[in-house]
Amino acid sequence: MTGGSATRIALIYPELLGTYGDGGNAIVLSQRLRWRGLPVEVVNVPAGSAVPESCDIYLLGGGEDAPQVLAADGIRQNRAIRRAVSSGAAVLAVCAGYQVIGATFPSGGEIHEGLNLVDVETRRSFGPSDAPPARAVGDIVVEPDARLGLPTLYGYENHAGRTRRLPGASGIPLGTVRLGIGDGDGGTDGIVDGRVIGTYLHGPVLAQNPALADLLLSWVHGPLPPLDAPREVEVLRQARRRALAVT
Ligand SMILES: NC(=O)CC[C@H](N)C(=O)O
């Protein structure tokens, strides 16, 4: 994006993908820009409306199985997010959003087409047994891939789906699960492919992990001025680390 223009943050279909409070990610991103004196515009994209192509960061949150089908169908009406990504936009997709940006995901006993932005697929189970695993509910702690230069990620998860990379998938897992389930493939959570991030972490994830917010912002803005962030965030992160007994 160019020098003085506002960073545009699109909150996609919050009525369908807002069940778990992930709309807070838009608040965190915009506040971290405002604290730095940088202009920002949050673009609320109501369910069913055309997704604009002109945004810098696209946010998709978590939702229930049926709403996420509606969301995928609506977003697919145009290819705005795909075109924006190929022009340098970033995406943060959480839980249902993560499933939706992949190739396929389950809902109502059927497999639905995702947006194919990242090379993952989601099912109720990838195991041999007919009985799917229990819903993944609780705290989740992820050690991010070292290449991302991020500290430990904290959040909570609440999902039935299990996600895995497709053969030959591009991108890297967001990180290694130290507590919780994540993708459920035996150790990873999420994907980072170019400027597209998918993850199972709610929280909102950017409120608990401001370094991840700044990574997204730096991708679309370039180097960010230093920020004298409120100390409370780090105090809360340390308290969380101790409470979860993750060393
Ligand atoms: N928290 C969510 O977004 C849930 C996603 C999806 N409906 C599942 O249960 O797997």
Query: Which residue pairs, CB below 8 angstroms and at least 24 apart, start in 146-150?
Result: 147/172, 148/174, 148/175, 148/192, 148/215, 149/215, 150/209, 150/211, 150/212, 150/215
- 55 annotated active-site: no
* ipTM score for this prediction: 0.97
Amino acid letter, 140: I
Structure tokens, 239:
């308290």
| Atom 3 (ligand 1) nearest CA | 62
In contact, 122 and 65? CB cutoff 8 Å: no
pLDDT digits (tens, 9 = 90+) for 100-159: 999 999 999 999 999 999 999 999 999 887 788 999 999 999 999 999 999 999 999 999
Any binding-site annotation on 135?
A: yes
Query: Where in the chain are the domains?
Result: 7-244
Test site for ligand 1: of 15, 20, 22, 64, most ligand atoms within 8 A of the Cβ: 64
Class of domain 7-244 (CATH, top level): alpha beta
Question: Three-class SS of residue 242?
Answer: helix
Question: Three-class SS of residue 97?
Answer: helix
- So what's the pLDDT on residue 230? 78
- 221 annotated active-site: no
Enclosing H/E stretch for 190 = none
Test site for ligand 1: of 105, 159, 189, most ligand atoms within 8 A of the Cβ: 159
Q: How far apart are CA 227 and CA 58, in angstroms?
A: 23
| Atom 2 (ligand 1) nearest CA | 62
In contact, 62 and 15? CB cutoff 8 Å: no
pLDDT digits (tens, 9 = 90+) for 205-244: 999 999 999 999 999 999 999 887 778 888 999 999 999 9
Q: How far apart are CA 130 and CA 132, in angstroms?
A: 6
DSSP bridge partners of 163: 122
Burial of 70 (0-12, 13-18, 19+ CB in 10 A): middle
